[in-house]
Structure 1
């Protein structure tokens, strides 16, 4: 995963509402109407958040009639988790890396 991709995902997850949306989607696909019920925001605001999550590749959308259904893009999430897993915490700049 490229650093730019990671940066876009981090920026998307930097908003508390979008982070909550991702957590909600972690247990499966949700209709936009169900996501909206969990927030005190307008439908256009939800659409804005979903656009950002979709543009960074973290969320996929599926249309069914007039409704949009959202789910996590497992490939992107796995790549992001793998990138985060390569980061280490080194104290003292030497052999004390964790």
Structure 2
């Protein structure tokens, strides 16, 4: 199932939150190579299915991975458009040439 891509503050924050865990980064690295079944990810990462399911849920809620069911297995793949949203968000900071000082506070 393809995850919609929306660039709103909540999605940006959940994307970076999902990227903040070493195990989730390892999952994403494996998915860079090819779509993976939960059982294969568990085996390679040497984690239980319940632990991995928690992390996959976080990645999916952040829109970073897609899932599809085939029989009794669920396969995960990267949702590249959401990575592009996060990349574009960060790229905007490169275009800031000068940060203006704060305006003086007006006291009544």
TM-score (norm 2): 0.77
Unmatched runs of 5 consecutive residues or more in structure 1: none
- Flag the structure with larger Rg: 2
- Which residue of the partner structure matches residue 21 of structure 1? 27
SS at 2:94 equivalent: coil
Q: Aligned runs of 1:10-89 on 2, under 5 Å?
A: 10-88=16-94
- Structure 2 distance, partners of 1:24, 1:78, is 18
CA distance in 1, matches of 2:44, 2:91: 31
C-alpha distance in 2 between matches for 1:83 and 1:93: 17
Q: State the Cα RMSD in Å.
A: 2.0
Q: 2: CA distance between counterparts of 1:6 and 1:62?
A: 24
Aligned residue pairs, count: 94
- Tell me how far apart the structure 2 counterparts of residues 89 and 41 of structure 1 sit (CA, whole Å): 41
Runs (5+) with no aligned partner, structure 2: 1-6, 101-108
**CA distance, structure 2, for counterparts of residue 11 and residue 88 of structure 1:** 21
